[in-house]
Amino acid sequence: MNRSIVHMDLDAFFVSCERRNNDQLKNIPLIIGGGDRGVVASCSYEARKFGVRSAMPIRMALRLCPDAKVIRGDYELYSNLSHMVTEIIQEKVPVMEKASIDEFYLDLSGMDKFFGCYQWTQEIVAAVKKETGLPISFALSTNKTVSKIGTGESKPVGSLQIKESEIKPFLNPLSIKKIPMVGDKTFQLLSRIGIRTIETLSEMPVMVLQQMIGLNGKELWKKANGIDENPVVPYSERKSISTEKTFTNDTMDIIELKRLISGMAEQLAYQLRQEKWLTSTVVVKIRYANFDTETKQHKVAYTSADHTLSRVALELFNQVYTRRMRLRLVGLRFTGLVHGNHQMNLFEDTEEQMSLYQTMDYLKNRFGADAVGRASGFDFEK
């Protein structure tokens, strides 16, 4: 049985949320992001015409589009609307994966026996627009890669159906940049030897690609040929990652406790980035020597940044540790996870911070997770 996989993407999600609540923001160049040293979290199509893109430094964006209006963003609004859309879709389909705050995959395989998958998806989109007022695009095909590329080609507020026989003709003329796993470095590397279209990439020997870019070469070749067996992973609100430390001897060494929590935050944030998760809730847990256990949690804008998560974790520890008693355990948990890259939420990040994370993660990937870390959470006795 051929699979029927839909990719849905809320168009310029942060921008659409702001415009939903303020008509004066419609039809003008709009940028969502941090201050002068921050980066663009999202931008309107009017701003994109001037070359503005997500993750671009705000300063550069304003040089390209001086008349753009910059808004820092309202995390609570975006989170609530994303949850509304999630519930609408989840009620109507057998299997849904929430790939990020504004992206969804649906597995409608077999449903065409009862109801046309394309028509069914159109009705879901109509329900989202009616109940939330948010624009959404989608594409239907036989796998996740082709559907995601199709959604990108259908934007804004568009739809595509790419049947199995149409996959190669659809993909071939497109730039290799359209393949989700092709970043700037891979694009530049392939471009230097004349590989710029998906058709050219699909005709390359797999061994050559593996020699050029490593183990991902085979996966890239498969995607260029419209092959993707990855399943749609059912979405669960309950996913979390956590770590905790039980002390051999109960302690009330505040400096050591804060160092430990900071290190935990860095460790879990690195895990988030490696597994392409973002978290929206930080939970700190402590257990006193008499076994009394207390927790404290705080909502944050979806992120995987050490500096944000560590700061919130330490603030929560200060709030929850109120007794002058020794502790036997401390723990940290990140919940409310959605799949996505850190670039989705850059309300407070700067260019320098983004560059720092890329460098630190590269070193950790190459030399081990403990190869480099922030001094505040580093155990110098190891």
Burial of 276 from C-beta contacts in 10 A (0-12 / 13-18 / 19+): middle
Contact 298, 332 (CB under 8 A): no
Tell me if residue 18 is catalytic.
Answer: no
Helices 206-213 and 184-191, interaxial angle, to 10°? Answer: 120
Burial of 27 from C-beta contacts in 10 A (0-12 / 13-18 / 19+): exposed
In the block, residue with structure tokens 């709009």: 30
Q: Which residues pair with 280 in a beta bridge?
A: none
Nearest to 12 by CA among 88, 78, 66: 78
Judge whether 361 is annotated as a binding position. Answer: no
CA distance 354 to 342: 9
Of 46, 97, 103, 219, catalytic: 103
Judge whether 370 is annotated as a binding position. Answer: no
Contact 263, 373 (CB under 8 A): yes
Burial of 323 from C-beta contacts in 10 A (0-12 / 13-18 / 19+): middle
DSSP tag of 181: T
Q: Which residues pair with 33 in a beta bridge?
A: 40
Q: Which residues are designated catalytic?
A: 103
- Residues belonging to the binding site for Mg(2+) are 9, 102
- Residues belonging to the binding site are 9, 102
